[in-house]
Amino acid sequence: MTKNHRGSANPWLAKSKQDLETGQLLLKEGGYPDTICYFAHQAVEKALKGFLIQGGVRPDKIHNLIKLASEAEKISPGLKNLREEVAALNDYYIPAKYPVDVPVEYSKADASSALKMAEDILNFIQNKV
């Protein structure tokens, strides 16, 4: 991740909110839990990238929430309080998006929990920008 000129988090936060709302709609309508968990991951990934851009850091083209959050903690140490949620959501990227050798089953409760964590992280970041 490199330093560059400061950009606006707003487009990233708008996409983050869109992913969160899509996941919430899918949950309400009985959508696939793995897809809902994936949208929760995406919401947080975009929120973190927007936060980094706002802070003058150009994020790498990665999907690892733990690495993104670690960089974001350098700007706002308060993000450390969300490490557990970030780590949990990070686990949803690959198995929720791609078929894996050992199938992973997600429940409606998993999906609901993922969306709640994503919403908490997005709210935290929105309050920081």
pLDDT band of residue 119 (cuts 50, 70, 90) is very high
Q: Confidence band (pLDDT; 50, 70, 90) for 86?
A: very high
Q: In the prediction, which pLDDT does 129 show? A: 80
Question: Residues 2, 91, 75, 77: what is their CA dihedral angle, to the nearest 10 degrees?
Answer: -150
Measure the CA–CA gap between 72 and 52, rounded to whole angstroms.
Answer: 6
Instruction: Answer yes or no: is pLDDT of 2 > 90.
Output: no
Q: What is the mean pLDDT of the chain?
A: 89
Average pLDDT over residues 93-120: 83
| Separation of alpha carbons 50 and 26, rounded Å | 24
96: pLDDT confidence band, cut at 50, 70 and 90?
Answer: low
Evaluate if residue 78 carries a pLDDT over 90. no
Alpha helices in the chain (DSSP H): 10-28, 33-54, 65-75, 83-90, 93-97, 108-128
Report, as an integer, the average pLDDT of 34-60.
Answer: 94
Domains of the chain, residue spans: 2-128
**What pLDDT was estimated at residue 47?**
97
Report pLDDT for 95: 63
pLDDT of residue 42: 96
In CATH terms, is domain 2-128 a member of 1.20.120.330? yes
Whether the Cβ atoms of residue 16 and residue 47 lie closer than 8 Å to each other: yes
